[in-house]
Amino acid sequence: MKKILSYTRRCVEDYHMIRAGDRIAVGVSGGKDSLTLLCALSHLRDFYPEPFTVEAVTVDIGIEGMDFTPVAELCESIHVPYRVIPTAISHVIFDLRKEKNPCSLCAKMRRGVLHEALQEMGINKIALGHHYDDAVETFFLSLFYEARLSCFQPVTYLDRSGITQIRPLLYCSEGMIRGAAGRENLPVVHNPCPANGLTKRQEVKELVAELSQTYPNIKENVFRAMQRLPLAEWGPLEHRHSLPFDEHKD
């Protein structure tokens, strides 16, 4: 977790993600990424020179079998307030609309519920668990399916809601996160979603893994290219840190 924390702090500082007095909510799905982010920010909170607070929020989409009790226990142990918001999103998507490609609509509905809850709570900054591999895969998804050179931004201000999204794990690879979550014995919640593993993102993830066998630096090169272009809010490169890590180690 020390390396995760180091990379998280570096990303936070490079992109000026946290200001003194910020009240930051972590969007916790129960997966390894959001739980690792929650723990990293709770540790960073204890010594970061610009004081901030951390809270956790889960949007429960209503799939039977998802139990967030272990997540609540983790939050209590690290002194982070936790709120679960129950919804019927799964029923709407799978039973009523019978969506063949449900992920986009599900994400949109979850964002709407989350942003409404944040506004009610008086919180205007949300930390999301997107990491280094997510950024590379999103770049390829935009290129392949939208004919755009695009990716989500490290920091995004949503003027319609007044909420700022930050992504502090962008310098952490999925391998690093998986290793840290395992060693810390984080209470990862099994995702029984019918669409899990059957998405376009999964296809791109597998393609990138295959290409990496021939071109070992492909992910790092894509990530650096996004900083050099630069994509909106990603550059300039000279003000960002390089990423000299082995993604399979922490």
CATH number for the domain spanning 216: value is 3.40.50.620
Nearest by Cα to 140 from 29, 33, 196, 221: 221
Q: In this model, does residue 242 exceed pLDDT 60?
A: no
Region of poorest pLDDT, from 47-51, 95-99, 192-196: 192-196
Residue 205 lies in a domain: yes
Q: pTM for this structure?
A: 0.89
Which residue has better confidence, 214 or 248?
A: 214
Specify whether the CB–CB gap between 224 and 136 falls below 8 A. Answer: no
**Cβ proximity of 57 and 114 under 8 Å:** yes
Residue 248, in any domain of the structure: no
Q: Across residues 221-246, what is the average pLDDT? A: 71
The C-alpha angle with vertex 14 and arms to 10 and 17, in degrees rounded to 5, equals 95
Burial of 127 (0-12, 13-18, 19+ CB in 10 A): buried
Residue 245 lies in a domain: no
pLDDT above 90 as % of the chain: 68
**Mean pLDDT across 151-168:** 92
DSSP state of 245: -
Confidence of residue 245 (pLDDT cuts 50, 70, 90): low
Judge whether 26 lies within some domain: yes
154 part of a folded domain:
yes
The mean of the pLDDT values for the chain is 89
- Would residue 244 count as lying in a domain? no
pLDDT at 248: 45
pLDDT of amino acid 157: 93
User: Does some domain include residue 153?
Assistant: yes
93 token code pair? 């998507």
Q: Is residue 202 part of a domain?
A: yes
Q: Residue 225 sits in which domain range?
A: 2-239
Number of domains in the chain: 1
Q: How many helices (H) and strands (E) does the chain have?
A: 9, 6
